[in-house]
Amino acid sequence: MDRDPGGIFRGDSDEDEGSLDERLANKEMVVYLIDASPKMLALAQPDKNQETHFHTTVNHITQSMKTQKIKRPLDEVAICFFNTKEKRNLQDLAGVYVYNATERDSLDRPNEGLITEFSCIEDSFMNNIGSQYGMTSGSKENALYNALWVAQALLCKGSLRTLSKRILIFTNQDDPFIGITGAAKTDMIRRTIQYGKDARALGLSIELPLSKSDENFNMSLFYADLIGLDEDEIVPYMPSSGWLLTTRCIS
């Protein structure tokens, strides 16, 4: 016997379930992929009172996760460094350090513990993780390629109900292969760009949030091809890229 034939007592429950389904369907998975090379940790003009690009990136991502926690609590995030001395990833690839969600079957939601710990990462970064150029002359290692591989694997942990899966790369080096020349450099560029194309074909979005201090960042050298920008899209992308971090990824 139906104890509520008119559905009088179902409305709120159905609405709650509908709201949850909608939030699940619209949740995002984000991998924050942070360049940890010495250039990121150096002051561009040491005689001036300014922050390192690494410090600015940590602050931006911390604020981003705080807003996610409030506005999009079902989102899932991972933080990954590349160009590191230490390595921590399931693929055992050099120069890549996954800060959280390394050995679990899912990523983390932007919770208070993760936010608090990450906001203090600079205090222990050099001792525990370390910074180095992961792509040098004579080396076959490609830290950026490795990092993209790890990031894609992290995003594969997510639910099929996730609306979008995004890789956000933070760097102030417009030519990640600057220390390499000749055929080795050409091959690394080709392989990394192809990996970016393959990732986008799988529905992953690769983005490059830039701060206003990156006015001299030359997208045409490499990153435009990696993230899939046509030549006529580069100029409009530059002033809007900082907006990507402060609005879309935290809204």
Q: How many angstroms separate the CA atoms of 49 and 31, rounded?
A: 31
Q: Name the more confident of 162 and 113.
A: 113
Q: Is 151 within 8 Å of 205 (Cβ atoms)?
A: no
Q: Which amino acid is at 13?
A: S
Read off the pLDDT of residues 14-49 as tens digits, 9 standing for 90 and up: 545 555 556 666 789 999 999 999 999 998 666 666
Q: Where are the domains of the chain?
A: 27-250
Residue 163 pLDDT > 90, yes or no?
no
| Residue 159, token pair as written in the block | 């639910």
Q: Which fold has domain 27-250?
A: Rossmann fold (3.40.50)
pLDDT (0 to 100) of residue 24: 61
User: Above pLDDT 90, what percent of the chain?
Assistant: 59
Helix (H, G, I), strand (E, B) or coil at 55: helix
Q: How many angstroms separate the CA atoms of 228 and 148, rounded?
A: 15
Residue 244 pLDDT > 60, yes or no?
no
* pTM metric for this prediction: 0.85
Q: What is the DSSP annotation of 230-251?
A: -HHHHHHHHHHHHHHHHTGGG-
pLDDT range class, residue 164, cuts 50, 70, 90: confident
Residue 176: exposed, middle, or buried by beta-carbon count in 10 A (0-12, 13-18, 19+)?
Answer: buried
Of the CA atoms within 13 Å of residue 171, those in its CB half-sphere come to: 27
Read off the pLDDT of residues 87-104 as tens digits, 9 standing for 90 and up: 999 999 999 999 998 777
